[in-house]
């Protein structure tokens, strides 16, 4: 039995349109296209996580909103 997974690699296949493919080729200048795409996906997911957290914070009401404001006041 496995208690935990510490790392995993996932392979994703995407199709780029001609314009995006040319832009990507120019951006990497012979470098690692996969690394550039992975960085873009990570950036996108980070922005979604921040947006989700902001929406959740904005939804707080009553005592929860007060506690959150008090917590943030210290920062």
End-to-end CA distance of the chain: 44
Mean pLDDT of 11-18: 86
Q: Give the separation between CA 58 and CA 46, rounded to whole angstroms.
A: 18
Q: Are 57 and 68 spatial neighbours (Cβ–Cβ below 8 Å)?
A: yes
Residue 62: both structure tokens together: 């009553």
Q: Where is pLDDT greater, at 75 or 51?
A: 51
Supply the DSSP symbol for 29. Answer: T
Q: Which residues neighbour 37 within 8 Å (Cβ) at sequence distance 6 or greater?
A: 14, 24
Tens digits of per-residue pLDDT, 22-73? 999 898 988 888 888 889 999 999 999 999 999 999 999 999 999 999 988 8
pLDDT at position 2 = 58
Mean pLDDT of 1-25: 80
């Amino acid at each position: 039995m496995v208690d935990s997974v510490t790392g995993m690699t996932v392979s994703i296949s995407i199709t780029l349109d001609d314009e995006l493919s040319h832009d990507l080729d120019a951006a990497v200048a012979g470098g690692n296209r996969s690394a550039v795409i992975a960085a873009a996906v990570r950036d996108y997911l980070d922005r979604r996580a921040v947006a989700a957290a902001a929406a959740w914070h904005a939804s707080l009401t009553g005592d929860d909103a007060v506690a959150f404001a008090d917590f943030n006041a210290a920062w």
